């Protein structure tokens, strides 16, 4: 599975490489709508699914309250399989902020896998935290990530 994930991520990097500066995430991602912190807050209040694509360690230190963790380089590729999250469920995908590529790559992949409403929260976790919006800390995996991994191991 790791080889497949690396191939998919490599293709995504190459497809985005021509449109983004080396040290900053793109402002727009094909198939996703770029949103501000205020728009992310409104989506949070309307129960959109928040997907954190940072490393597990960073997710454990702090994440948007209620977010599910699917690390871009670990478990994110599981979302391409049917039945885990409905393709009709709005997804808000975020990372640390505009200085990293993870959320841009993840938003691109989610849109290419058929998710109908993908929001690219480019400003990410640190902007959310700076606005004193709800955050949480957790140990281990998010509930959804754990249940998906459990179903694959059975």
* Residue showing tokens 């960073």: 58
Listed in order, strand segments (DSSP E) in 31-147 are 33-34, 49-52, 63-64, 68-69, 91-94, 118-121, 135-136
What local confidence, expressed as pLDDT, does residue 131 receive? 96
pTM: 0.77
What local confidence, expressed as pLDDT, does residue 15 receive? 45
What local confidence, expressed as pLDDT, does residue 143 receive? 67
Residues of the chain short of pLDDT 70, as ranges, are 1-22, 140-154
């Amino acid at each position: 599975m790791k080889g497949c994930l690396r191939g998919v991520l490599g293709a995504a990097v190459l497809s985005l490489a021509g449109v983004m500066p080396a040290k900053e995430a793109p402002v727009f991602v094909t198939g996703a709508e770029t949103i501000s912190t205020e728009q992310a807050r409104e989506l949070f209040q309307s129960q959109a699914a928040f997907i954190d694509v940072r490393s597990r360690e960073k997710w454990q230190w702090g994440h948007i309250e209620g977010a599910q963790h699917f690390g871009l380089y670990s478990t994110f590729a599981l979302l391409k399989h049917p039945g885990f999250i409905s393709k009709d469920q709005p997804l808000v995908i975020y990372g640390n902020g505009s200085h990293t590529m993870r959320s841009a790559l993840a938003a691109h992949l989610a849109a290419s896998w058929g998710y109908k409403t993908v929001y690219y929260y480019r400003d990410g976790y640190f902007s959310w935290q700076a606005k004193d919006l709800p955050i949480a800390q957790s140990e281990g995996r998010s509930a959804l990530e754990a249940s998906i991994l459990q179903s694959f191991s059975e």
